[in-house]
Structure 1
């Protein structure tokens, strides 16, 4: 299936403590294999999901079979909530990028939570407002930032801390797709960052060596 390049926002923001505690306490957990579908574009949303482990790709498919990746969801975030709340068919699909665990949140579970903890409803509204803000920043990034700045920002936003190191688990092609530049351009910029000692590259993995320098590049308009 052909894939269409598009800017990807990696959602790594933390949920409020009250929501995290609620979702972590739910026993309706489903284990997923790499590539397994969570929900499909066009279907009715009977639930939404809390990602307990792994990463998930959210994407749209056109009538001629082209795919456009919309976001990569990291653990500790929710997905599929928009169609659940507005009652409209899902506008995207989601699948596991690696082995994952999701908590399935049904309407009954949420209504029970509202009765015992009504403040959770306000937290969910704040979360939706944050998502809208992030989408606005996404438009700003793709419109006004140069390729170096976008790639530096993507690396910083996507990095996972493991011990004293920070890693980005993505290929250069995936990074290019993420920031809407060609693979050749992404490779050239990443290699230049590597030459300057800002990062080290390996197959499917980048180690960030100089976070401050990348932050300076990412902040350029």
Structure 2
């Protein structure tokens, strides 16, 4: 079994509790999918026959309004699951998925994965354990949106999304959505988001260059969460 498939599965929350033999069985039903920038993984209304683990690159989930306007629902990076709801209750994909840069994913067929779960109750329990941990994370995110100020929400978003540069070691986040969409995700207005970004820049905590946001002082940014 190619090691890269196992490495990708190990990095995904859903499989983090699996034993090696269980992980190998999942790897055996997975296949690689390569996408070029702008290429669609699936469209709204397509039959949801599989879910995906993102090995590398970035993809976005988006909806189209009747007017044709596009709204980004979520941006996925390496290590994320894409369309995992297809495991249990999706018949069709409810949105579009498009690569924002060259991407590689593992395609895991729904029917084959459900058969693995039915054949191995221990695997099913471990999957449920991983889902419960993810649910707790979502509850914390809801609390963050409900009780934190905008500065703390933005700090949390940047700390979760930023990646360490292999060249400089600096934490950097590339904004793949518009600031209007980011403001909506953070539960604020575009004007308030712009003021908050400006404040963090003035304090020397972050630096903006185009769509790139560099975290210059991670500990100071982390202190905004308290």
- Same-fold call, TM cutoff 0.5: yes
Which residue in the other structure is 2:196 paired with? Answer: 189
- The correspondence for 1:159, drawn from 159, 162, 167, is 162
Which residue in the other structure is 1:8 paired with? Answer: none
Asked if residue 168 in structure 1 is aligned to residue 176 in structure 2, the reply is: no
Q: CA deviation at 1:160?
A: 0.3
Asked if residue 99 in structure 1 is aligned to residue 102 in structure 2, the reply is: yes
RMSD across aligned C-alpha pairs, in angstroms? 3.0
Cα distance change of structure 1 residues 25 and 45 upon mapping to structure 2, 3 Å threshold: same
- The correspondence for 2:79, drawn from 76, 80, 101, is 76
- 1:70-120: CA deviations, max 9, x gaps? 322221121112133214333333222211011111135425655886543
Which residue in the other structure is 1:90 paired with? Answer: 93
2:200–2:206 Cα contact (<8 Å) kept: yes
Unaligned runs of 5+ in 1: 1-11
Structure 1 CA distance for aligned equivalents of residues 68 and 38 of structure 2: 17
Which residue in the other structure is 2:128 paired with? Answer: 125
- The correspondence for 2:224, drawn from 211, 217, 220, is 217
- The two structures have a TM-score, normalised by structure 1, of 0.77
2:46–2:92 Cα contact (<8 Å) kept: yes
Q: CA deviation at 1:123?
A: 3.1
- The correspondence for 1:198, drawn from 195, 199, 205, is 205
- The two structures have a TM-score, normalised by structure 2, of 0.76
Structure 1 CA distance for aligned equivalents of residues 45 and 133 of structure 2: 25
- 1:146-185: CA deviations, max 9, x gaps? 2111111111111101242111111772543442333332
Asked if residue 208 in structure 1 is aligned to residue 215 in structure 2, the reply is: yes
Question: Greater relative contact order (Cα 8 A, min sep 6): structure 1 or 2?
Answer: 1
